[in-house]
A and B are shown apart, each in its own frame.
Chain A
Amino acid sequence: MRKIKTLTSLILAVCVLALVPAINAKASATVYTYTLEIKSGSYEFPRTQDAYLPDKTVTDLGLSKPSDIFITEDDIMYICDSGNNRVLLYDIKKDEAVGEIKGKPLKTPMGVFVTADGTVYVADNGAKAILKYSRDHEFIEQFGRPSEPSFSDTNFDPIKIAVDNAGNMYIVGEGVYNGIIQLAPTGEFLGYFAVNRTRLSFSQMLQKVLFTRDQLENLSMTVPTTFSNIYVDKDGIVYSTSMSAEENSLKKHNTSGGNMFKGGIVGWNDMTDVTVDKNGIIYVSSQRGYIEIYSKDGEFIFEFGSFLTGTDIAGLFTSLPTVAVSTNGYIWAADGDKGYLQSFKPTDYANMIYSAMGLYETGRYEESLTAWSEVLRLNQMSVLAHNGVGKALFHAQRYEESLEHFEVAENRTYFSEAFWEVRNGVIQKALPFVFLSIILLIVISLVVKRIDRKGVIRAKRSAIGNKLLDIPVLGDVLYMFRVARHPNDRYYDVRVGNVRYFEQKKGLGHGKATVIGATIIYILAFITYMVYRTGKGFIYQYVSVEDMDIAGTVAGFFVLIGLFIICNWLVTSINDGDGNLKTVYMLPAYALAPLMIGMLLIVVLSYSMTYNESFILTIILIVSIIWSVVNLFCGLMNVHDYTFKETVKSIIMTVFFMIVAMIIALIITIMVEQLLNFITSVGRELVLNVI
């Protein structure tokens, strides 16, 4: 008896729970908002303030599989109610259905579009036609399959439609790979508007070049992705979304069909619908259940939502086929399975961002600055806001202040621009002094030359250099600069072990290569390398120090050099190389001087260079690398007493041995790991079973 009671109460409770419309739970954020952060070059989507809150849920319209919604300028929503073969009209302000289009030809409407003058276009997938209705929803005409020969035998199963101001129709057809079908107002086929290209992988490209026609036909050819939706904004600009395109799933088309988002957009490739409000802000719905919002220029603003789910929570969907925006900025979306409408109300945070963007775009930089600062007050770390403040300051010519905002936002391009202006100001102020000092230097050098006809001062200067070279350890280190100047001769000295007689006679034989000197150079080179990796100016330091794999860098540096020394020694000792372990150890160290100077120079210059002059740094790096490699090459040639060919051979073999050694090391570590595993499991077995 008792058991039955509990059972019935349980059943009752379940029933009650099922009856209570959980959908009505409002206001609290059931959907989270995420924004974009670019950290050290990789995209991250941290959670941010709620930009949209679920507002109204409309469940009483009796919708079945709504596939498309469209909101006109007087806030009438046209809902493509595919399951019921009708287009329903819903007044958002009055919150009630205000009629429907149910003319005879409507079979399975999948897409609806209303032009500015109120003409309604319906893409009827079942009837394989586009239906045109007047402002008062009276049937005007229908456009069937275009009869032009150029349309050939392509399918005509329209699913989405958009119409520009001239009455040209842009139609997304099911299974049409050629692009968006463009029809003239008369229904004449004008051509395919935008085309999603197939991207061939490298191997496919090779196949295309090498294979015969027959072989190519046997391959399953990749087809371009089809479009998923289309929209035309009030200025007649066409937007399209496509699913599973590798990139550019959202496109803003120019009149020739090209993509106006040059670098593509940040986002996912499962977009189902796109809509654009009067400010040009782009709203995209995705198959996952998220709604993404992009600025006019395709900049990711934020996204909100949650993954698709069956639970009845406001703001969550079981499928999300379409999205639209009402005149007051509320986002409306339809659930494709359960057939209800859901609206989202923008928060102050979202509104503030939009108004700041609008102000910036219309050139009211001062006002947009205050608006962005307000956003920044709400969210200190908002990349968007920092970018906004920075750009507003930049346009207000307050370059110095804009720098820190661009630094937080990691906007290196704009940082570089702003820095150029700041630097230009400094240069202008310093110009007279620079000119004066240059003239002074020229005069001084002329005077010195005049006085120093016999070269006394010069001799003294080189004498100081030689004295430095004669100091035991310091001289050994400084010797690397002499190596860099005459690698052939100096490495010859390293092999022979003493300074050549006639050089000594000329007073040039100062300094020598030693093991201690080489060790110190290695350490110095390591320090230089670390400074180079971590200490560059903001614009050139792409990866911040926190995100760097320091241990890997350290290990990599020393392992690589150590491996090179050992492998080269092994290779050369069986190939009649003259060098012993000692000389081979010193060899790479003394070749490093140009590279070290180059790296230090780059670090110093990177603080005063913008992207405009980045080629200078590139050239310095290339020259220093080449110089060091030439040094190393000359070193190997002279130390081992090789010919050119033998040197190349020994280098190839050294590299090969290095790779082999690394593979062996990898195998050994794996095997040791296995062995340890084995021992521990044996031990465990012993503990468990024997004792």
Chain B
Amino acid sequence: MALQNTKKHKTGVRDRREALHAGALLLPYGLLFSMFILIPVAIAMGLSFSYFDVINKPTFTGLMNYIYLFTQDTVFMKKVLPNTFLYALIVGPGGYVISFLIAWMLSQIQALPRTILSLAIYTPSMVGQVFIGVVWKTIFSGDQRGIINNILLELNVIDTPIQFLLTKDYFMQIMILISLWSAMGIGFLAMISGILNINEELYEAAYVDGMKNRFQEILYITIPSMKPQMLFGAVMAIVNAFNMGWIGVTLSGANPTPEYAGQLITNHIDDYGFIRYEMGYAAAISVVLLIIVYLFNIVAHRFFGSKDE
């Protein structure tokens, strides 16, 4: 705010001093931000135009990485891109809707059970990786001791245990299921606080004006009143949806995932960056990912952004 104010009145010693103060106050954060985020991103963008194998000096190759990505890399076009979109389209909006519904339901109950329940629901997103290693791997284990296999064998539905985590048939579905289960993250907490902060008088006034049911309550009062939290939740959901590649790797224990069934863009970046050490190419893929995430965020802003932005 301070900076904006100074822009409006450029003249005057006082304003200049105020700008100086603001700049000084911003400096620590600005330094850290540029050192750890801005500059690395810029370097990655620069690297994406080069060939870099970590040992030798990067050599400039122009747009070659991007051209290769879209024309030669069949794994990317055939598996990774469709996988990522499928995953993001289901886990993004799906997790978002579930988060909102659960947050709304929790806001309807008393404080103590709400605190306990929301902690319980928030837990999976915190301890996800450990949980997947222990719980989900046991559930979907490929031998007779896997819980689901055991039940199916017991009921004579199948003859031999299904290799859930080592074949491509069910891998994506399992990934999506687990992601939805752990989708109640930071965005969910923000939504709870958003719902709880809505002024009760608004509802009363709306009922006086002729509102009849809970459904209308959500549609006309709850959502419009918590647009900032909704936006935050949406952005978090999108970033999450494109960032959860590790689930596949943790489940199958290998990158690439079985027959590229659960290969998302982040896995592909890992594959090229930290397994094949083709940093330039990996940087190019990350730039593409950045653009995709940015485009999705624009859509989210369309829906939930406030008018004056």
Contact = CB atoms under 8 A, between A and B. Distances in A.
Interface residues on A, range: 20 to 34
B307 interface: no
Contacts of A458: none
Contacts of A155: none
Interface in B128-167: 155-156, 159-160
A516 interface: no
Contacts of B8: none
Contact of B77 (A200, A424, A619, A643): A424
Contacts of B159: 195, 197, 258-259
Contacts of B70: 427-428, 431
Nearest to A434: B70
A377 interface: no
Contacts of A259: 159
B219 interface: yes
A615 B71 contact: no
Contacts of A643: 212-213
B29 interface: no
Nearest to A616: B85
Given A619-B89, A644-B213, A258 B156 contact: no
B82 A644 contact: no
B82 A612 contact: yes
A205 B156 contact: yes
A644 B155 contact: no
B259 to A, nearest CB: 13
B89 A205 contact: no
Contacts of A532: none
Interface in A193-218: 195, 197-200, 205, 208-209
B54 interface: no
Contact of A197 (B79, B156, B212): B156
A199 B214 CA distance: 48
B155 A208 contact: yes
A488 B82 CA distance: 35
A198 B156 contact: yes
Contacts, number: 40
Q: Is the interface of B mostly helix, strand, loop or mixed?
A: helix
A613 B85 CA distance: 9
B206 to A, nearest CB: 14
A615 B160 contact: no
B78 interface: yes
A644 B156 contact: no
Contacts of B155: 200, 205, 208-209
Interface in A440-455: none
A577 to B, nearest CB: 15
A681 to B, nearest CB: 53
A431 B71 contact: yes
B71 A428 contact: yes
Q: Which of A424, A488, A615 has the most CB of B within 10 A?
A: A615
B215 interface: yes
A258 B159 CA distance: 9
Given A643-B213, A644-B213, A644-B214, A615 B82 contact: yes
B105 interface: no
Contacts of A428: 70-71
Given A208-B155, A615-B82, A643-B212, 19 more contacts: A200-B155, A200-B156, A205-B156, A209-B155, A258-B160, A259-B159, A420-B78, A428-B70, A431-B70, A431-B71, A488-B216, A488-B219, A612-B82, A613-B82, A615-B86, A616-B85, A619-B89, A643-B213, A644-B214
Give the top 10 A-B pairs by smallest Cβ distance, nearest first.
A615-B86, A197-B159, A644-B213, A428-B71, A200-B156, A612-B82, A644-B215, A643-B213, A258-B160, A205-B155
18 contacts: A197-B156, A200-B155, A200-B156, A208-B155, A258-B160, A427-B70, A428-B70, A428-B71, A431-B70, A612-B78, A615-B82, A615-B86, A616-B85, A619-B89, A643-B212, A643-B213, A644-B213, A644-B215
Interface of A: 195, 197-200, 205, 208-209, 258-259, 420, 424, 427-428, 431, 488, 612-613, 615-616, 619, 643-644
